[in-house]
Amino acid sequence: MLLGLSMIRIACYGGVNDIGGNKLLVKLDKGSIFLDFGLSYSEESRFFEEFLQPRSACKVHDLLNLDLLPHIDGVYRQDALRPRDFENYEVKAKNLWKLSIQSFEDAVETGSWHPDALFISHAHLDHCGYAPYLGDVPFLCSDMTRNLMEAVAEIGNLQGLDKQLTAVKRREMGMLKTGFFAGESKVDYSKDGEEREFRSLEHKKSRAIENGLTITGFNVDHSIPGSMACLVESENSQVLYTGDIRFHGKSGYNLGEELKGLVPDVMFCEGTRINKTEPDDERKVETDLIEVISKCEGLVMVGFTWKDIDRYETVRDAAIKSGRIPVFDPRLAYLLAKIGRSAYDEGARVFLERCGSMLYSPGDYSNSKHKVGDMPLSEWSSKPNVVVDTKHLEKGISALELSENPSSYVLHLDYFRFKNILDFVLPDGSVFVRAQCEPFNPKMELSQKRMIRWLKHFKINADNDWKPYQIHASGHASGLEIQEMIDKIKPKLLVPVHTEHPELFRNPAGKIHMPKKGIEKRIQ
């Protein structure tokens, strides 16, 4: 290596000709960092579907064997590859647990290569869903992203290792204590959890990390709060990663203006909508919703993901401006509480779902506490004289209130909560609006057909042939906006990721590298 120059090495283990699953490895001088470590829904769907899933007890093995996880030494936590104390137990399946891959802990002990950190751009699982499998590297992200990851772990539909987004429970060998086979071997999780090391990133504030690397986070707009781009630097090199980005949200963040003329050595740029010429506009979503609500004589239902706080604010404002009470999913209310906000303080209410014994009794919510109140789950206790949070039971809106006066409400109801419609008494003219993306794969198209059957059965959207009304603004920038950002930042080397159309990228100020999955490229 020439004196005063630095060698940059990059490898894309996901996000290549694919929307999602970003796992981008950057090595600068002595240090290295992963930029996101997400699951790819499209890759997993090649092998799995609803009733054919990886085996939870050996999920990492299954994903490695199907090449859904990269075969890299020094990355994965030891207990994800093999339970603690495994070698001291004689089990018939021992050979099936063998993997020719070095764990993170072994790499640290032997002085072999291992990453120094993981940057998490935002809390969507296609960017952080495989992070629980990593060894004890620090996670760098915004405080909001950490809070969101914790909320997803607490109330999302995750199991086993996948649930360990912010805290770790080690897998370990043990013995069955009771039952027909007491004394036989088993694998279980340790009772005591360990909090992951999270290092907070603030907008435009740099943090030094191990082996001479510095990382600076930049707030960006996306369909989930807390999203960030990052700039990774060593003494002689700069690598920029946009994460997922848009310019039509409410925040006003503009990475192109923020980093105008930066000229980084490498720029990883997302391109979900690089083939789209028209920018979206979140403000138009509100305008269109108001128009639909004002014409509806029954209940208005709006479907969108519970983690999209921007869309919550848009639907809330549209409902209030239309003279209706906005009612939201309890998961969203719980998320708001995690970041110090209350739907009730913002002119909204929370939907009280029937669950458990289906009685609207407080006891029905013992296993899904977020549905009856938005107090953080960690504060619940079974100790005497501890007051539990039943706010939604007292202030929320149940199916009974909705049915009494449906034209008074706008209800947040995504497709996977359609079972609640069975409790409603809906007048003709009730409306369902899908305020999220349209189907873009065979699985989603099948869900669309089922959705239409529900809508037709309950005479919803009769004026639209029972199809959902589509009102949405994407979480991603259009091709023109992406190109304008690239032209302002002027990277020496542009690397398209998170896109199915890398060929549409242009870099007038430098070169373009079309990555190949898992192939390392050296840049001097």
User: What does the alpha-carbon distance between residue 278 and residue 285 come to, in Å, rounded to a whole number?
Assistant: 15
Which token pair is 25? 């490895």
Q: Could you tell me which residues are beta bridge partners of residue 350?
A: 328
User: What does the alpha-carbon distance between residue 405 and residue 426 come to, in Å, rounded to a whole number?
Assistant: 9
* Dihedral, CA of residue 468, residue 472, residue 474 and residue 480, to nearest 10: 120
H/E run at residue 145 = helix 143-155
φ, ψ of residue 189 to 5 degrees: the values are: -95, 145
Q: Which CATH superfamily is domain 8-41+109-166+189-275+476-523 in?
A: Ribonuclease Z/Hydroxyacylglutathione hydrolase-like (3.60.15.10)
User: What does the alpha-carbon distance between residue 6 and residue 1 come to, in Å, rounded to a whole number?
Assistant: 7
* Predicted model pTM: 0.93
Distance from the Cα of residue 22 to its chain's centroid = 12
Cα separations in angstroms, 35 against 26, 115, 229, 419: 8, 11, 10, 38
Q: Specify the residue for token string 């992963």.
A: 34
pLDDT at 279: 87
Q: Specify the residue for token string 């069955």.
A: 176
Q: Are strands 228-233 and 238-241 parallel, antiparallel or unpaired?
A: antiparallel
Find the angle CA(494)-CA(498)-CA(499) to the nearest 5 degrees: 85
pLDDT at 385: 64
Angle, in degrees to the nearest 10, between helices 330-338 and 309-321: 110
Q: Yes or no: say if 422 and 413 are a contact pair by the CB < 8 Å rule.
A: no
The fold of 282-470 is Rossmann fold (3.40.50)
Segments of the chain scoring below 70 in pLDDT: 1-6, 376-387, 439-441
User: What does the alpha-carbon distance between residue 38 and residue 194 come to, in Å, rounded to a whole number?
Assistant: 21
pLDDT digits (tens, 9 = 90+) for 101-133: 999 999 999 999 999 999 999 999 999 999 999
- List the one residue out of 123, 170, 168 whose CA is nearest residue 147: 123
User: What does the alpha-carbon distance between residue 320 and residue 326 come to, in Å, rounded to a whole number?
Assistant: 7
User: What does the alpha-carbon distance between residue 160 and residue 254 come to, in Å, rounded to a whole number?
Assistant: 38
Burial classification of residue 192, based on how many CB atoms lie within 10 Å of its CB (0-12 exposed, 13-18 middle, 19 or more buried): exposed
Residue 63, helix vs strand vs coil: helix
For residue 271, the number of C-alpha atoms closer than 13 Å in the C-beta half-sphere is 28
Please state the domain extents for the chain: 8-41+109-166+189-275+476-523, 282-470
Find the angle CA(57)-CA(58)-CA(62) to the nearest 5 degrees: 140
Q: Are strands 194-195 and 198-200 parallel, antiparallel or unpaired?
A: unpaired
* Dihedral, CA of residue 397, residue 403, residue 406 and residue 411, to nearest 10: 40
pLDDT at 383: 60
For the chain, helix (H) and strand (E) counts, in that order, are 14, 24
Range 171-186 burial, b when 16+ CB lie within 10 A, else e: bbbeeeeeeeeeeebe
Q: Yes or no: say if 328 and 414 are a contact pair by the CB < 8 Å rule.
A: no
pLDDT at 444: 73
